[in-house]
Structure 1
Amino acid sequence: MNDTPGNAPDDRDPAVHDPNGNASYGHKPFERSRSHFADRITADGREGRPVEAGRYRLVVSRACPWASRALVSRRLLGLESALSLAVADPLQDDRSWRFTLDEGGRDPVLGIRYLSEAYDAREHGYPGGVSVPAIVDIPTRTLVTNDYQQITLDLATEWTALHRPGAPDLYPEHLRAEIDEVMEGIYRDVNNGVYRAGFADGQGEYEAAYADVFRRLDLVSERLTRQRYLVGDTVTEADIRLFTTLVRFDAVYHGHFKCNRNKISEDPVLWAYARDLYQTPGFGDTVDFRHIKQHYYRVHTGINPTGIVPLGPALSGWLTPHHREELGGRPFGDGTPPGPVAPGEEVPAEGRP
């Protein structure tokens, strides 16, 4: 997660460097920083890191929408046995993401207590934020990349030799220009827009971000009245990127980030679309609503100083019929759904509807 204002030269993340999550941004607009470590893992190793089964570990927080993209992509593509998974505690201390969910407070594969240790191994004294998703080289316990925009694209296009049989094509070449265009607007106005609204420290800044969020959601809703998925007739990277914001919207962004014109559940098209994806294997089975709410409401004390975590909204609606199949489309194209969730990676009952 890289909830980063662009005030300081190193674009530090308030939820990482300030354990209270306070945001005092000097009336500068929220600006998400670029990933500092942008190495790529490619099929031929042309950028120095070759795809290799078992060599790397994906570190995520289930609270983080940017990390959740990687979780969904990894599931849909069947990369569980090739790319192992570490899940950080949704709550952070002054050293940021920690492995307190694991026995002894250490990641069992990397042997480290904090993700920052892998960052330090890569660049000692690195001054920037420790963000997820991150991919770590297991033999050296060294960070490879935290480039949340590129990681999932590479999982879809560079890791193909390790995809499961029947894996969908999440970034089909003939649709990439359209996918990129759709994703750019969604990223700017929705994925990042909710943060611009939530971390705004001026009324005008907040109102501009709020307007962008709902203008884009209205455009997306109109688009989805005619087709089941954002681009083409199958699930693509664009759907993954929109889903991870929609699934957090009513639980967090509507109240906590003041994006409260309406809930997603009050837009019939977006609510049906979100439920369709949630009920598609590989999407909802990666979502932990408890982690999401614990992180946002307890870490961002500059926004929620009491640290009280709301009990609602009710989650049962996520499992109700959506009828989106009436628009046609096949979620996996000529492929097949992913198999059961890997042992040990199941979302606990308290995080599910």
Structure 2
Amino acid sequence: MSYVSRGKGYGRDTRYITTRITADGRDGYPVEPGRYRLVISRACPWASRAAIVRRLLGLEQALPMAVAAPVHDERSWNFDLDPGGRDPVLGIERLREAYLARDPGYERGITVPAVVEVASGKVVTNDVPQITLDMSREWTRYHRPGAPALYPRALRAPIDAVNALVYQDVNNAVYEAGFAGTQEAYAEAYGRLFARLDWLSDRLERSRYLVGDTLTEADVRLFTTLVRFDPVYHGHFKCNRQKLTEMPVLWAYARDLFQTPGFGDTVDFDHIKRHYYLVHSDINPTGIVPAGPDPADWLAPHDRAVLGGRPFGDGAAPGPVTPEEAVPAGHTPLPASCRGWARRSCSRCPYP
């Protein structure tokens, strides 16, 4: 949940429901295939982290996923994408129902991602940073063969350090700029954002990935902001010193990730733009959703492989997206030469 007050700065409510789903069930919620449902919106960068990590680790069968509609009102995320406007498993129209099932007096943000226990209909957790870390650490029994080590023990300290900087100065700073209540608050967030993007450019000029020579949680957390930068943050949030496409290192890095199975195949540019430009009516009162930029540019060569690194380490890429979870055609760019991928039926497709 976030808030902004006129004449003041932006704030984010991070008072999450911190119950954890663990291998030993110490919080009362053991890891158990099919017991829980991950609720996301493809519009939300925080929820998109969970979608990417879940796919990279191959948890699709163990942790089924619900996709909320990109546009909501003050009553919370809804399931208008599903027949009858109800999630077919949870049977609810709005995510708020699962929060109130957990706590009838719940007064905080109805946020995604959220993990809901199917039998009880109650939200177990909406702890954004912890959900993906626990996918890596607690759900290991159900990882696919060849799943990458996104949060390896030997690299946890540097991953945590990078994540803290990226959260403060990039992930959250774009919101601090976009919802700033004063010119001073905007200028501070804007300066911090671009100083950190310059720092990241310097770091990534010499290294294909943020920490080590393989994909990690740190890359996932940065990617979900970068992929929204030009469609939303540059104009809508006034983060306009440069577009991502005008920052050569970060643009190549972001395309490298987008073209890696598990990243771009979870992105829905239509949902992203409709959410920000329609829900934030105080910023965009006309409700006009911009036509651009052209998402096909994300498929341009990136040449990052010359830096070395192996995206999946000793493992392998995830398999094709299942038809049920495929992003609708036209919502994300597809390789023009691979019509099989467009049908989500080609096992030989390089994407994959």
Q: What residue number does 2:119 align with?
A: 139
1:133-212 → structure 2 map (5 Å cutoff): 133-212=113-192
> Does the aligned pair in 1 maintain the 2:13–2:109 contact within 8 Å?
no
CA-to-aligned-CA distance 1:143-164 (integer Å, 9 cap, x gap): 0000001000000111000100
Secondary structure in structure 2 of the residue aligned to 1:39: coil
| 1:33 positional shift | 1.3
The farther-off stretch of 122-131 and 294-303 is: 122-131
> Does the aligned pair in 2 maintain the 1:233–1:329 contact within 8 Å?
yes
Of 318, 325, 330, the residue aligned with 1:345 is 325
| 1:35 positional shift | 3.5
Q: Given the alignment of the two structures, is residue 260 of structure 1 paired with residue 240 of structure 2, yes or no?
A: yes
Q: Given the alignment of the two structures, is residue 98 of structure 1 paired with residue 78 of structure 2, yes or no?
A: yes
Of 15, 19, 30, the residue aligned with 1:35 is 15
| 1:343 positional shift | 2.3
Runs of 4+ in 1 over 2 A off after TM superposition: none
Counterpart code for 1:147? D
Secondary structure in structure 2 of the residue aligned to 1:213: helix
Secondary structure in structure 2 of the residue aligned to 1:231: coil
CA-to-aligned-CA distance 1:290-314 (integer Å, 9 cap, x gap): 0000000000011111110000111
CA-to-aligned-CA distance 1:66-121 (integer Å, 9 cap, x gap): 00000000000000000001000000023110001000110000001000000000
Q: Given the alignment of the two structures, is residue 336 of structure 1 paired with residue 316 of structure 2, yes or no?
A: yes
> Does the aligned pair in 2 maintain the 1:35–1:146 contact within 8 Å?
no
Q: What residue number does 1:280 align with?
A: 260
Counterpart code for 2:35? R
Give me the whole-angstrom Cα distance separating, in 2, the residues matched to 1:267 and 1:104.
Answer: 44
Q: What residue number does 1:250 align with?
A: 230
Give me the whole-angstrom Cα distance separating, in 2, the residues matched to 1:301 and 1:47.
Answer: 40
> Does the aligned pair in 1 maintain the 2:76–2:96 contact within 8 Å?
yes
Counterpart code for 2:9? P
Q: What residue number does 2:45 align with?
A: 65
Secondary structure in structure 1 of the residue aligned to 2:277: helix
Give me the whole-angstrom Cα distance separating, in 2, the residues matched to 1:35 and 1:152.
Answer: 17
> Does the aligned pair in 1 maintain the 2:273–2:289 contact within 8 Å?
yes
Q: What residue number does 2:283 align with?
A: 303
| 1:50 positional shift | 0.5
| 1:27 positional shift | 2.4
What is the TM-score with the length of structure 1 in the denominator?
0.93
Give me the whole-angstrom Cα distance separating, in 2, the residues matched to 1:65 and 1:128.
Answer: 19
Unmatched runs of 5 consecutive residues or more in structure 1: 6-22
> Does the aligned pair in 1 maintain the 2:214–2:310 contact within 8 Å?
yes
> Does the aligned pair in 2 maintain the 1:35–1:148 contact within 8 Å?
no
Secondary structure in structure 2 of the residue aligned to 1:211: helix
Secondary structure in structure 2 of the residue aligned to 1:31: strand
Give me the whole-angstrom Cα distance separating, in 2, the residues matched to 1:48 and 1:31.
Answer: 32
Q: 1:35 to 1:147 in 2, by over 3 A?
A: farther
Give me the whole-angstrom Cα distance separating, in 1, the residues matched to 2:247 and 2:198.
Answer: 9
| 1:241 positional shift | 0.1
CA-to-aligned-CA distance 1:108-137 (integer Å, 9 cap, x gap): 000010000000000003111100000000
CA-to-aligned-CA distance 1:150-185 (integer Å, 9 cap, x gap): 000000111000100110000010011000101100
Counterpart code for 1:145? T
Give me the whole-angstrom Cα distance separating, in 1, the residues matched to 2:145 and 2:294.
Answer: 37
Secondary structure in structure 2 of the residue aligned to 1:276: helix
Count of residues paired in the alignment: 333
CA-to-aligned-CA distance 1:257-294 (integer Å, 9 cap, x gap): 00000011111100000000000000000000000000
Cα RMSD (Å) of the superposition? 0.8
Q: What residue number does 1:9 align with?
A: none
Q: What residue number does 1:217 align with?
A: 197
Counterpart code for 2:257? L
Secondary structure in structure 2 of the residue aligned to 1:131: coil
| 1:36 positional shift | 2.9
> Does the aligned pair in 2 maintain the 1:80–1:342 contact within 8 Å?
no
> Does the aligned pair in 2 maintain the 1:55–1:139 contact within 8 Å?
yes
Counterpart code for 1:186? V
Q: Given the alignment of the two structures, is residue 315 of structure 1 paired with residue 295 of structure 2, yes or no?
A: yes
Q: What residue number does 2:346 align with?
A: none
Give me the whole-angstrom Cα distance separating, in 2, the residues matched to 1:32 and 1:345.
Answer: 30
